[in-house]
Amino acid sequence: MKPRTISKIITALLFGLLMGGAVHHDHVKRGELGREDYLAKQAIRFDKFFSKPPSIALEMFVGVILAGFTFGAYELVAFGLSKVLKKTDDDAA
């Protein structure tokens, strides 16, 4: 398998592990609050973010920026891993 393909697979697994860890941390943190505190914080969050949503143009702009950043970070990590794997492969030959 090519180093570029291997690096993309490793990067996808790495990003998946990071996202899974973040989601788990969020669940643990919210679970520690207790029911009443959690519901109170959710009520505040609803009032702040959902009762008056921002414009669709703003949300689309933020979505494009976030997608670009995420894709760029993924490609940068994959490129770096590809270079490391290629150098390791060249040294072994």
Residue 34 DSSP symbol: -
pLDDT at 93: 61
Q: Helix count (H) and strand count (E) of the chain?
A: 3, 0
Does 1 have pLDDT greater than 90? no
Other Cβ atoms within 10 Å of 88 Cβ, number? 10
Confidence (pTM): 0.72
- Report the C-alpha gap between 54 and 67 in whole angstroms: 19
pLDDT (tens digit, 9 = 90+) per residue, 50-60? 888 889 999 99
Q: Do residues 7 and 78 touch, judged by C-beta distance below 8 A?
A: yes
Q: How many residues does the chain have?
A: 93
Other Cβ atoms within 10 Å of 10 Cβ, number? 15
